[in-house]
Chains A and B, each alone.
Chain A
Amino acid sequence: MKSLLTLKKYFIRYKSKLLWGVLFILLSNLGTVYVPLFLKDSINALQKNVGYAALVRYGILIVATSFLSGFFRFLIRETIIVVSREIEYDLRQDFWSHIQRLSLRYFQNNSTGNIMAHATNDLNAVRTFVGPAVMYSTDTFVRLVMVIVIMVSLSIPLTIYSLLPLPVLSYLVYKLGKKIHIKYTYIQEKFSELTTKAQESFSGIRVIKSYVREDNEINEFQKLSHDYLLKNMDMVKIESMFQPALYLVTGISIILVIWLGGIQVINGTMDLGEISAFVIYLGLLIWPMIAIGWVVNLIQQASASMKRLNKMLSEKYEIQDSSITDHSIDNVKGTIEFKNVSFRYSPELPYVFKNINLKIPAGMTAAIIGQTGAGKTTLVDLVPRLYDVTEGEVLIDGRNIKEIPLKTLRKHIGLVPQETFLFSDTLANNIAYGLKETNMKTVASSAEIAQLTKDIESFPLGYETMLGERGITLSGGQKQRTCLARALAIDPAILILDDSFSAVDTRTEEGILKNLRTFMKERTSIIISHRISTVKDADLIFVLSEGRIAEQGTHEELVRKQGIYSGLHYKQLLEKELEELS
């Protein structure tokens, strides 16, 4: 329950609308409770042989009152439920602006699915609390008080007898609701087992087919489906009681009114009109009584969800400007230096690399080569501070990068990540992603360097071609070249290419590298690759192996050394020869 206190500030933000909503609840219920009184009067009047005109008047009163009540009911939804959507919006907004500032480490440790579950299910549970739960609980309370006051004024004993069964209803709804919720979690568990089984069976279909285990899989799935059926029936057993219990309790109330009221009418201490009013009042109370039990469950679920959201919202921003940030730095030239840098992803994990020392003077092209898993990507991720070093320091232009404002730092670094990621947007917008606004001249020149122009010309919509789900799917090489163009477009002082040509054929790659040579002349660049052909022209090559820099030098120096690099070089020559064999 405590967790829901977070919502206070949102409620306060919309307090005037909410207060109006409460007022409308009062007014609407006032109308609702008057209708049975008119009915009562008209029935009593009928007993006394009144004229036709009186009947018409009662009819009009009933219609007019319920029109007003309905109008206010309309306004209730238009205030309170609307506020719930507004709060939902605010919450989601806060959620998103928070999540955007979390470091990459958070996204590594939390799956997209998990984050999405917070953004959808948990937010929705909270929204249901803010809207329906608040509306129904206020409505219930107001109506309950008004109806009981009137009932008491009509007949105290009849009120007591007829209301006696109703709390049972609230209790039942609460209890059954709770049980249903528990059973429902069991069902969800079974359902996810079933899903996992299907997922596993379909991904392992090769093994299943080669060992001819299809029938066994079907049997197991059948068993799980049957368990799922049983769990569902467990819930059905309880759920099926819901409606009958409802009928039973409300029905008994009404029958009590007819019986006890009937006796009083016979005795002459009551009129038939009162009975009819009581019957209608009971009808008015049924829904609120159900709502009480329901709302309690909603609140419980919302508080569990809010707790999860609060945990997320209190997640610290790991990488941000701090007290040592020197805000006067607004430019980056490009000398990169690693001083005794060690890194591991978390204290429980082993070091990815230890005591790395390297220096890349401004304007130079450096290359990093090494086996998969050697830590190349991690190394370059430290430069734009996607991660912070565990030990040691990274310097740019002689300043610790933690002193450079994060925005300035990243503004001057063009990183082409290993995993190509493009947005479902037009090609032009993707290339211009880092620009303040899409500048076609820059886009075109970046695309030209990345050897993308020919591809773009082959698309009917050219630069306006949509990518992704609702658009076309680019080939791996096209994606890599688009990512490259995107990085070039921001005119970076430092360009980092993380294995950015792996899906590009060698001839195209050569072309790009040639173009890049001019582009990189005045800039510092780091190129990660597996291919010798990509790195051989670099000013400085680092060979990363087993968490340290094993070799460094120019291509010629390293080939002469007869070490790791020259081994790689020889193999790649062989590969090329094989490739050229027809």
Chain B
Amino acid sequence: MAQDYKADDEVLGKAYDSKLMKRLLGYVKPYKKYMAFAIVLNIIVAAFGPLRAVLTKVAIDDNIKGKDYHGLLMVTLAMIGTLVFQAVMQYYLTYYTQLMGQRIIYDLRVKLFAHIEKLALKYFDKTPIGRIVTRVTNDIESLNEMFSSGIVNVFSDIFIVIWILGFMFFMDWKLSLVTLSVFPFLIYGTFLFRKKVRDSYRDVRFHLARLNSYMQEHVTGMGVVQIFNKENEELKRFSSINADYRKVNIDSIFYYAVFYPAVEFLSSIALALIIWYGGGEIIHNTMTIGVLFAFIQLIDQFFRPIRDLSDKYNIMQTAMASSERVFKLLDNNTFVKNPEVPVELKKVEGKIEFRNVWFAYNGDDYVLKDISFNITPGQTVAIVGATGAGKTSLINILTRFYDINKGKICLDGIDIKDMDKRELRKFISIVLQDVFLFSGTIKSNISLNSPEITDEKIIEAAKSVGAHKFISQLPKEYDEEVKEKGATLSVGQKQLLSFARALAYNPQILILDEATSSVDTETEILIQRAIEKLLVDRTAIVIAHRLSTIQNADQIIVMHKGEVREIGKHQELLAKRGIYYKLYQLQYKDQEVTRTA
């Protein structure tokens, strides 16, 4: 639950922004029938509460005063009828409104996720994963609240108020006006309260964020606190932050403490007005006692929706802020562009050409400079170089994770920019240094859930890379669950799994970034054998860390500071006594020693 207390997630803006709202309502379109249904139902349901107050009037004026037992029973039954009907309707109304809200945010969430999946790696390099995750989770969640309780309840509250006003004026417009004279105070009070609460809510959020980030920071840096003997001083600082937080909370209590009693006080004034003015009318026989009863009930129903408006405001405000962030992400167009009419590829031979390729992640900061080389189909090419020589960038651009700045990369003589990048990637499998395992099973980690990769293929692939042995020793074999990125598997086992994955896809071109992490001799032999299997019958590019790989390579490309400096075979290059020779001494020679030893 690592939280990020970044400012852009904290800002609360307007509660209503017509542009955002319009765009949001676009997502309601598929459900406009639900929406219409909900609104109509709302109008009907809203009438029942006030209607019962009017029925009370009938019961008192006509039945009780007229001593009509049967009539009283009938009205009572009618009231129960409206009550049951209202309850049932209310249930369906809430249910369908929520369903609609859930569907809408489901659509939006999936759409957003699909959009992110398709963004270029450049976006992921620049944006912390946590923040992207927040967009598809928490931000979408706060929209849910708006769709399911905010918008529709606002309608419902408005209709309730309208019905109450209608009934009141219908029964006695003069008493209505007198009673409603408290209304402006209520509105004013509510808005004042809302403003104060919003300000104090902001203070509370600010101090809470401060408190949380203090704790987060100091839990992370507790070692430093302890080494420097700063426990007492830090406790003092913590106290003052904690006390600030307490203060703003206590301040905010004041507004609630004033508001709720104030609303009750206003409603009692309304009650007093009903008795004073209505009573006077009754004395003058211009009104019945039943109307007075009805008014007492109606005024009670009238206060609630207005008091609740301030809660709705907060919901809308959060939702607007979230939707702004969601839409901003939906508008992000960091894609690696596909050609409009891609060259179709049925089959590839595996001939690869780099022609004067220049590449930079940022601006003019070139990490690859004027790279040119050829790989003939079926060749195994080893790429060697010190850290930062540009080896990884080389494979990043071949698969079009990034587009190059200058030059040309051709596959079978066709510029890879003219191909559908997804088609291109289907011909190439990559085995990365850090094996990434997904939660799921061993099986799903090999097939990545591709329906084309049958169980037979999975087992065959596992067998040929030598992973079958350890897999069949697992309690559930291929259906064994992979948890927490494969925490229960050893480094070597994870490697073998990723080899099996690459082999199962049977690519024409294989890119392998050999892991540097040391494994025991037995596993090392397994891995070497697996690599030999992987390289057979296909074009292979290997970022080599193993002596055996460079010894067996058809061609070795030596990278240094973003440039290709030497190309050739192992013995030739050694004989040159250039960069390769040094690299060999540095990275590979030890393996020779340990192997012969």
Chain A bound to chain B: yes
Q: Do A101 and B231 touch across chains, with their CB atoms under 8 A apart?
A: yes
Is there contact, CB below 8 Å, between B113 and A42? no
Once bound together, how far apart are the Cα atoms of A394 and B561, in whole Å?
A: 47
Which residues on A sit within 8 Å (CB–CB) of B99?
233, 236
B109 near A225 (CB under 8 angstroms)? yes
Contact of B235 among A47, A89, A97, A263 (CB under 8 A): A97
Report the minimum CB–CB distance from A96 to chain B (whole Å). 5
B1-9, B16-24, B29-37 - the one binding chain A? B1-9
Flag if A386 contacts B436 (CB, 8 Å).
no
Q: Across the interface, which residues of B come within 8 angstroms of A490, CB to CB?
A: 228
A262 B272 Cβ-Cβ under 8 A = no
With a cutoff of 8 Å between Cβ atoms, the chain A residues found around residue B87 in the complex are 244-245, 247-248, 251
- Kindly state the separation between the CA atoms of A577 and B578 in the bound complex, as whole angstroms: 11
Complex Cα distance A86/B289, Å?
Answer: 50
Does B73 reach chain A (CB closer than 8 Å)? yes
The answer, among B217, B260, B283, for a CB contact under 8 Å with A424, is B217
Instruction: Output the residue of B117, B235, B282, B449 with the most chain A CB within 10 A.
Output: B117
Q: Which residues of B contact A56 (CB under 8 A)?
A: 276
A89 lies within 8 A of B246 (CB):
yes
Q: Do A42 and B264 touch (CB < 8 A)?
A: no
Partner of B560, one of A195, A567, A581: A581
Chain A residues with CB under 8 Å of B373's CB are: none
Asked if B63 and A262 sit within 8 Å, CB to CB, the answer is: yes
How many residues of B are counted as interface, with CB atoms below 8 angstroms from the partner's CB atoms? 130
Name the segment of B292-300, B316-324, B465-473, B528-536 touching the other chain: B292-300
Cβ of B327 within 8 Å of any chain A Cβ, yes or no, is: no
Q: Name the residue on B nearest A419 (C-beta).
A: B223
Q: Are B586 and A202 touching (Cβ within 8 A)?
A: no
| Contacting pair A77 B113 (CB below 8 A) | no
- Contact status A283-B401, CB under 8 Å: no
Residues in chain A near residue B292, CB distance under 8 A: 43, 46
**B284, closest chain A residue (CB):** A52
- Known A-B contacts A85-B246, A258-B76; A244 and B88 likewise in contact (beta carbons under 8 Å): yes
Q: Which among B79, B300, B448 is the interface contact of A213 at CB below 8 angstroms? A: B448
- Does chain A have a CB within 8 A of B116? yes
A517 within 8 A of B: no
**Chain B residues near A67 (CB-CB < 8 A):** 265, 268
Q: Does B56 contact A (CB under 8 A)?
A: yes
Q: How far is the CA of A240 from the CA of B72 in the complex (A)?
A: 32
Q: Are A216 and B222 neighbours in the complex by a CB distance under 8 Å?
A: no
A411: chain B residues at CB < 8 Å are: 229
A205 to B116, CA, bound (A): 10
Contact with B along A250-267 (1 / 0, CB 8 A): 011001001100110110
Helix, strand, loop or mixed for chain A's interface?
helix
Whether the Cβ atoms of B296 and A276 lie closer than 8 Å is: yes
Q: In chain A between 212 and 268, which residues have their CB closer than 8 angstroms to a CB of chain B? A: 212-214, 216-218, 220-222, 225-226, 228-229, 232-233, 236-237, 239-241, 243-245, 247-248, 251-252, 255, 258-259, 262-263, 265-266
Q: How far is the CA of A245 from the CA of B258 in the complex (A)?
A: 31
With A43-B292, A77-B257 as known contacts, state yes or no: A119 contacts B215, CB within 8 Å.
yes
> A259 and B72: CB pair below 8 A?
yes
Query: Is A247 a contact of B83 with CB atoms below 8 Å?
Result: yes
State how many angstroms separate the Cβ of A152 from the closest Cβ of chain B: 23
Of B239, B258, B265, the residue contacting A93 (CB under 8 A) is B239
- Nearest Cβ distance between residue B410 and chain A, in whole angstroms? 19
Chain A: CB-nearest residue to B505: A211
Which residues of B are found within 8 Å of A194, using beta-carbon distances? 136-137
Pick the contact of A434 from B52, B88, B229 — CB < 8 Å?
A: B229
A407 at the interface (CB under 8 A from B): yes
Name B416-452 residues within 8 Å CB distance of A: 422, 425-426, 428-430, 432, 436, 438-439, 448-450
Binary interface encoding of chain A residues 54-79 relative to chain B, with 1 for a CB under 8 A from any of its CBs, else 0: 01101110110111011101111110
Q: Which one, A55, A81, A202, A243, contacts B280 given CB within 8 A?
A: A55
Contact indicator per residue, chain A 297-328, by CB within 8 Å of chain B (1) or not (0): 00000000000000000000000000000000
B397 part of interface (Cβ distance < 8 Å): no
Question: CB distance B72 to A262 under 8 Å?
Answer: yes
Evaluate contact between A236 and B94: CB separation under 8 angstroms: yes
| Least CB separation from B271: chain A residue | A62
| A248 and B579 within 8 A (CB) | no
**Cross-chain contact B265 with A272 (CB below 8 angstroms):** no
Q: Which residues of A contact B280 (CB under 8 A)?
A: 52, 55
Which of B59, B121, B275 is close to A206, meaning CB atoms less than 8 Å apart?
Answer: B121
Least CB distance, A431 to chain B, in whole angstroms: 12
Within 8 Å of chain A (Cβ to Cβ): is B95? Answer: yes
| Of the residues A59, A229, A384, A575, contact of B227 by C-beta under 8 Å | A384
Contact, CB under 8 Å: B113 / A240: no
Chain B: CB-nearest residue to A371? B518
Contact with A along B217-242 (1 / 0, CB 8 A): 11111111111111100110011001
CB distance from B20 to the nearest CB of A (A): 22
Find out whether the CB atom of A200 lies under 8 angstroms from the CB atom of B439: yes
Q: Are A220 and B90 in contact (CB under 8 A)?
A: no
A262 close to B60 (CB less than 8 A): yes
Taken together as a complex, chains A and B put the C-alpha atoms of A94 and B122 apart, in Å, by 46
Give complex CA distance A198, B109 in Å: 11
Do the beta carbons of A424 and B64 come within 8 Å of each other?
Answer: no
- Give the CA-CA distance A59 to B102 in the complex, in Å: 49
A415 touches B227 (CB 8 A): yes
* Chain A residue, CB-CB nearest to B248: A85
A373-412 CB mask vs B (1 if < 8 Å, else 0) is 0000000000010100000000000000000000100110
Q: How far is the CA of A37 from the CA of B90 in the complex (A)?
A: 33
Closest to A434 in B: B228
Identify which of B52, B91, B582 contacts A244 (C-beta below 8 A). B91
Q: Is B212 an interface position by the 8 A CB rule?
A: yes
Q: What is the CA–CA distance of A575 and B220 in the complex, to the nearest angstrom?
A: 35
Given contacts A85-B249, A209-B401, contact A240 B98 (CB under 8 A): yes
**Knowing that A99-B219, A195-B133 are A-B contacts, what are 14 other residue pairs whose CB atoms are under 8 Å apart, sorted by A's residue number?**
A55-B275, A67-B265, A78-B253, A93-B239, A101-B231, A116-B215, A117-B1, A210-B428, A244-B87, A244-B94, A247-B87, A247-B90, A434-B228, A571-B585
Interface residues of B (CB under 8 A from A): 1-3, 5-6, 52, 56, 59-60, 63-64, 67, 69, 72-73, 76, 79-80, 83-84, 86-88, 90-92, 94-95, 98-99, 102-103, 106, 109-110, 113-114, 116-118, 121, 124, 129, 132-133, 136-137, 141, 212-213, 215-231, 234-235, 238-239, 242-243, 245-246, 249-250, 253-254, 256-258, 260-262, 264-265, 268-269, 271-273, 275-276, 279-280, 282-283, 289, 292-293, 296-297, 300, 386, 399, 401, 422, 425-426, 428-430, 432, 436, 438-439, 448-450, 501, 505, 560-561, 579, 582-583, 585-586, 590
Can you give 25 A-B contacts (C-beta < 8 A)? A63-B268, A89-B246, A93-B239, A93-B242, A97-B231, A104-B226, A107-B222, A206-B436, A208-B448, A209-B401, A209-B425, A211-B425, A211-B450, A212-B425, A218-B110, A220-B449, A222-B110, A236-B94, A240-B91, A244-B86, A251-B79, A259-B73, A266-B67, A469-B5, A578-B560
